[in-house]
Chains A and B, each alone.
Chain A
Amino acid sequence: MSSKPVQPAIEGWFTLSDTPQLIGSQCCGCGTYFFPKQDHYCKNPDCDSTEFQEALLSPRGRIWSYTNACYKPPAPFVAEEPFEPYAIAAVELEKERMTVLGQVVKGVGVEDLKVGMEMELVLETLHETDEDTKVTWKWRPVTDNGGQG
């Protein structure tokens, strides 16, 4: 990472701490979680609550499935030159009972992944602009020593 200031690629979707978490919301009526955040209506058909609280989502979960991107996606994706394929994981969060997509950290490919594997949320560079480094959440396999992978 360069010495440019770090900025979230998408404002308000995740915390920037050393132990980052996704910022979702939770319905005060029924307990349903939402990511991205939802504050106006609850999607549970049995609930008409309009009260929501911010909820930081579990930073760990298990792989529901995974794949990779072998070709450069179109804009608004900002690709490195030359383009490097990256893995993508859908990770199930146990408490929230939901699955969240994200890129997998650099250096981990599909051959390193398996359905059911434990993953944790980290921040990594998505791309750089002239002024700053845009970071996003990514998934990283949990290692026995606590995730210094």
Chain B
Amino acid sequence: MSGEVAIIGAGMHPWGKWGRNFVEYGVAAAREALADAGIPWRDVGYVSGGATVRCGYPGYVAGATFAQALGWQGCEVNTSYAACASGSQALAAARNKILAGECEVALVVGADTTPKGFLAPAGGYRPEDPDWVRFYLGITNPTYFALYARRRMDVYGDTLEDFAAVKVKNAAIGSKNPRARYRKCFSAEDVAASAMVADPLRLMDICATSDGGAALIVCSLDYAKRIGKGDAPRVAAISTVTPSFASAVVEMPDIATDSAAAAGIDAHSFRASLPMKAYEEAGIGPEDVDVAEVYDLSTALELDWIEDLQLAPRGEAAQLLRRGDTAVGGKIPVNPSGGLACFGEAVPAQALAQVCELTWQLRGECGDRQVEGARVGITANQGLFGHGSSVIVKR
């Protein structure tokens, strides 16, 4: 299809709590991606970076920073900020540049160092800032994920054991991923023994924040063929749509949802709308998907995503999990990388890390974690301020 670009290189700096400058992680990831593609840095005509994120807002300029660190060579640069979807937005910018015929090869890169200390708003009395208000009223980040989790329990009958099973599954597969931060296997008993943070979520149900860097080399199909990589995985769709009014789910940092009281307005789920545009753009459906990388900020959220991607009917993701269908070796493996449970979140790098994993999966290079015969993969993530993304990669 004409709207596609090839992914000829992928690279990641291992996730961790390294405490070094984010540029180091980005450069390491970029160099690995360049080596993976087997092309020289001077061939790259466009560097598209995901801005670092500080308290939810854009931090450091990324595109030019990485281009300078790799050595100015006169390419064009771009920096994208879209919270958790920053990497996908940077990828979309690169794809569009290539499809417009303005460059042949682009480097897409995101990296971050987790700021020290607890995430909290600036001080003073600032009732005009919803983030300040909700902290003042005692509503923290885990509150939102716990609300979604508890609703699953009361409405669909999900159990604490189901949530623990997501952690056990992701820890088991992530333990085989050299790029993951947490590489220890856990049992359901371990999860049950961890401290309750926001009922029904325990410490081990909730993902941490990490340092990390991820990079992709994307190019025109012509260029890929010229260097003998005509069969490389391709980006078939990128969705970065906003929510549709009225948003039905209360989202961090808001204290209330939109109102759907006006005539002609219905309540919509943002998460569910993200993959719909991706499926449409790629001209495929959920039945074509072999593997998914989703944003498991909490264990229960992985189950929500499975339904949002339409890999299971609404309310039935836990049944898939219980049957082992979402494990590697099952019908539709979810988070074969180990997911955020094993990585922790490095915001501007995370959406790209999801695409890196799919690239390696579709090339059949994942060893112990390999999803056999994977040809189509999809990612999904959602973050602050109406940002989210879903990317489809196929071979």
Contact = CB atoms under 8 A, between A and B. Distances in A.
Contacts of B265: 30, 32, 44, 46
Contacts of B198: 67-70
B256 A35 contact: yes
Interface in A13-50: 13, 27, 30-36, 43-47
A73 B255 contact: no
A114 interface: yes
Contact of A88 (B121, B138, B154): B138
A97 B267 contact: yes
A47 B262 CA distance: 10
A97 B155 contact: no
SS class, residues of chain A in contact with chain B: loop
B147 interface: yes
Interface residues of B, number: 49
B179 interface: no
Nearest to A97: B260
B147 to A, nearest CB: 4
A46 to B, nearest CB: 6
Interface in A85-135: 86, 88, 90, 95-103, 110, 114-116, 126
A7 interface: no
Contact of B132 (A76, A88, A98): A76
A67 B153 CA distance: 12
B262 A44 contact: yes
Nearest to B202: A70
Interface in B256-298: 256-265, 267
Nearest to A89: B147
B208 to A, nearest CB: 15
A126 B132 CA distance: 15
A99 B257 contact: yes
B264 to A, nearest CB: 6
A115 B155 contact: yes
Nearest to A70: B196
A101 to B, nearest CB: 5
A6 interface: no
A10 interface: yes
B151 interface: yes
15 contacts: A31-B263, A43-B245, A43-B258, A46-B262, A64-B151, A65-B150, A67-B146, A76-B125, A76-B135, A98-B258, A98-B259, A99-B256, A101-B256, A103-B137, A115-B151
Given A32-B259, A97-B261, A101-B137, 20 more contacts: A27-B262, A32-B246, A44-B245, A46-B265, A67-B142, A68-B146, A69-B198, A70-B196, A75-B120, A86-B138, A88-B143, A88-B147, A96-B261, A97-B246, A97-B259, A99-B248, A100-B255, A101-B134, A101-B139, A103-B137
